[in-house]
Structure 1
Amino acid sequence: MNQIPFFRRQRAYLSQFTTGQLHLKSPWVVAFFSFSYPGFGHMILHRYAAAFILILWETFINQMANINEGILYTLLGDFEKAKHILEERWLILYVGIYMFSIWDSYRTTIDLNKQYVLADREDAQILNMKMGTWDMNFLDKRKPWVALMWSVVIPGLGHLYLHKVITGFFMFGYTVVILYLGHIPEAIHHTMTGNFDKAIQALDMQWTLYIPSIYLFILYNAYSSAVELNKLFEKEMSKYLRQNYQNKNFKLPI
């Protein structure tokens, strides 16, 4: 006969490669990142399978529909060229998944916030270390500004500092591909040598326009993840000290 576990919900789960945790999030912030780039909102929620699929789908459908170039010409006021360059057959397919990504990330955030409140009230147990043959993961204090700094240098390194190995390597590889296809390193080289016209000509704007959304998300996610992991470490340490060192007669504040 199966026994019902004492804790119905988990506040966090440690694997060898990452730490998944429940914590309060603003549904509007999550929806905003899904609006800026489908999949990013789901990544904030630690729903990595859905996040990676949506990110790759966004890249594929955006390229097929020429959406970034359409956005560029729209911002430049050349509406006729924007309409001409968009591929309508692919654009229709883009809209449905795009709207679903925003709606689903918003809805899921509200549900996960409720799960977090219940898990926190139950004072659910937190595993503080996970070891395996490939890697080891443990709760520890991390500096948010260090995660932010490494993310500025190269996207993904801030997540590796936080031991989010899967997210870190995915975002690192994905960003490198975008930078290469957009000829951005080449444009930076020409800019540093003062050859601005050649820098502009080198850029492939269809790929380059991905970068602002990617960088904004990576900086935010690395910093906020460090803050929340520090809170998780404090909760685990607090529970351990209460259970092992606190006098049983001590009355907890309401």
Structure 2
Amino acid sequence: MSQYPQTRRQRAYLTQFSTTVLYPRNPWVVAFFSFSYPGFGHLLLHRYIAGLILILWETFINHNAKINLGIFYSLTGDFAKAMDVIDEQWLMLYVAIYMFGIWDGYRQAVDMNKQYILAEREDAPIQSIAIGTWDINYLDKRKPWVAVLWSVLFPGLGHLYIHKVIVGFFIFAYTVAIMYFGHLPQAIHLTMVGEFDLAKDIFEIQWAMYLPSIYFFIHYDAYIGTIDYNILFEKEMKKFLRKNYQNKEFKFPI
């Protein structure tokens, strides 16, 4: 018997808390999400550690450099104020890692697409269920629009629906923190009772500017993740049927 496994690559890896899957990605889409928010492109590729580090770094350095405020004032045409609020010392530390996130996301997408092709040619086995002390994860067919709907109601819920527990809880907690520091719930409440000036005063633009990128990404990731897992479920089922029922000599049970 050979000391080497029959297949060199995995198509998917199931744990109690998540499903990591090789699936072709458009490198430009990954680069776009890395451009809109460093780390999101890596989450799209299931590279969670690198993605979470880049997201937390983005939050830290952006807050200190006041980049979101500079963007806001630039969009409103107040370029002088935009230049005043930007901290050049922190900004110099921001640029290199921001560019690295875009480049690395694109590069990783190209490389992982090649790995996907090779794994498909090898017809690598697919694990269908993972059972542990804390949770059960299994391949199943789910509805993409349901994942998007829950993500619209609150970021992270759509990911929990498709059992991306690690990313789901991180996005959930991260969005709550952004909303808290941006005083968004208070601003919404004051707006609803007609206190527009007070709502404007307590609203923190620096924190609130994160939310559009977060919401756009989580809707896309929940939708495309559901489709990926549905395809993976179908592949595992097809492989099982080929292996166990395709032989013409197979005797079907009465």
TM range (shorter): over 0.9
Q: Does 1:239 align with 2:231?
A: no
Partner of residue 220, structure 1:
220
Structure 2 matches for 1:37-48, cutoff 5 A?
A: 37-48=37-48
Q: CA deviation at 1:202?
A: 2.2
User: Secondary structure at 1:240's aligned position in 2?
Assistant: helix
Aligned in 2, Cα 1:114/1:248: closer, same or farther, shift over 3 Å? farther
Which runs of at least 4 in structure 1 moved beyond 3 Å after TM superposition?
none
Partner of residue 155, structure 1:
155
Partner of residue 187, structure 1:
187
Amino acid at match of 1:126: I
1:191, 1:236 → 2: CA distance? 51
User: Secondary structure at 2:13's aligned position in 1?
Assistant: strand
* Pairs aligned (count): 249
1:206, 1:212 → 2: CA distance? 12
Amino acid at match of 1:93: L
1:51, 1:245 → 2: CA distance? 42
User: Secondary structure at 2:63's aligned position in 1?
Assistant: helix
User: Secondary structure at 2:137's aligned position in 1?
Assistant: strand
User: Secondary structure at 2:218's aligned position in 1?
Assistant: helix
Partner of residue 96, structure 2:
96
Name structure 1 gaps, 5 residues minimum.
250-254
Partner of residue 55, structure 1:
55
Q: CA deviation at 1:149?
A: 0.7
Q: CA deviation at 1:78?
A: 1.1
Partner of residue 25, structure 1:
25
User: Secondary structure at 1:13's aligned position in 2?
Assistant: strand
User: Secondary structure at 1:231's aligned position in 2?
Assistant: helix
Aligned in 2, Cα 1:208/1:120: closer, same or farther, shift over 3 Å? same
Q: TM-score, normalised by structure 2?
A: 0.95
Partner of residue 112, structure 2:
112
User: Secondary structure at 2:49's aligned position in 1?
Assistant: helix
2:152, 2:192 → 1: CA distance? 18
Q: CA deviation at 1:163?
A: 0.7
Could you tell me the percent identity over the aligned residues?
64
1:215, 1:136 → 2: CA distance? 28
